[in-house]
Amino acid sequence: MPEEIEFPVIESGFNFECTQCGDCCRGDQQVFLNLLDLYNMALFSGFTSTDRLFKQGTAELAQDVNHSVWRPRIRFKERPLRFCPFLINELSDDGRLKGFCRLHPHHKPLICALAPVGCEYDSRKKQASFLLVPPAARCPGMEKETHNKLHILTERYREALRYQSLYFELLELLKSKHLTEEDYREHLYTFKVNRPFKEIFFGLMRKIRGWVQMEISQQVVISGNK
Ligand code: SF4
Ligand code: SF4
């Protein structure tokens, strides 16, 4: 089993400046998405439903490391190299390969927008911690001495981080249901984007909490009848 890498916790600040080399958007990177990311990506693509992202092959579902839940991620192109479909590759005047994100700044997935800050959320304690995670193995931005304050970043993405925490709490609830990939896709990750995200999200939360609650009540009735 590969050893788990431990990343340093960011207390208040970190040094970093992106050079736009694009290395974190190519190769073996995995860009996991939350529900707001799916919504933004569907809007950016001009789709009326997130389902099109899966049908068109921009997004796919993958199991988390514990194989307990299915989560959406960007499906990277495979040829001629492996890279994100939203990456624009360009050559700079001095012949270096540069990378720009088509989703920047308003539709960019949270994981990319926060990089190199990784957000770890403990759904049981309802607590987030922030770690310094190099976006790519040799990210040149990590060598820069530009200082960044964590609270400025978390304030900028406060709403997106809040939705992500609630999404992780939903996943925690769903773990017990042992749903299939198709169930996740149909019941959690497919929704129309014709309303404000807030309405869609809280509708999904009510549906899933109702389901889980119903299952718990049924279990209580069944065990009470034994
Ligand atoms: S690898 Fe680092 S420097 Fe290069 S684009 Fe990604 S974040 Fe920026
Ligand atoms: S969404 Fe943008 S920043 Fe994220 S991997 Fe794709 S191109 Fe890079």
State if residue 23 touches ligand 1 by the CB under 6 angstroms criterion: yes
The C-alpha atoms of residue 200 and residue 194 are separated, in whole angstroms, by: 9
Q: How far is the CA of 21 from the centre of ligand 1 (A)?
A: 5
Confidence category of residue 1, pLDDT binned at 50, 70, 90: very low
CB 155 within 8 A of CB 193: no
Instruction: Give the residue, out of 108, 110, 117, 133, with the most ligand 2 atoms within 8 A of its beta carbon, to mutate for a pocket test.
Output: 108
What are the residue ranges spanned by the domains of the chain? 17-225
Q: How far is the CA of 221 from the centre of ligand 2 (A)?
A: 48
Check whether 3 has a pLDDT greater than 80: no
**Bridge partners, 83 (sequence order):** 26, 77
**CA nearest neighbour of 130 among 144, 110, 146, 145:** 110
State if residue 112 touches ligand 1 by the CB under 6 angstroms criterion: no
Task: Please state the rounded mean pLDDT for residues 210-224.
Answer: 63
User: From the CA of 29, which ligand is nearest?
Assistant: 2
pTM of the model: 0.92
Question: pLDDT tens digits, residue range 44-61?
Answer: 999 999 999 999 999 999
Alpha helices in 71-157 (DSSP H): 110-114, 150-156
The mean predicted confidence, pLDDT, of the chain is 92
Question: pLDDT tens digits, residue range 73-128?
Answer: 999 999 888 999 999 999 988 999 899 999 999 999 999 999 999 999 998 899 99
For helices 35-44 and 197-225, angle between their N-to-C axes, nearest 10 degrees = 140
Radius of gyration of the chain (CA): 19
Is 24 or 217 the better-scoring residue by pLDDT?
24
Q: What pLDDT score does 177 carry?
A: 82
Q: What pLDDT score does 224 carry?
A: 53
Q: How far is the CA of 78 from the centre of ligand 1 (A)?
A: 20
Check whether 143 has a pLDDT greater than 70: yes
Strand 117-122 and strand 147-149: pairing? unpaired
Nearest residue (CA) to ligand 2, atom 5: 25
Check whether 4 has a pLDDT greater than 60: yes
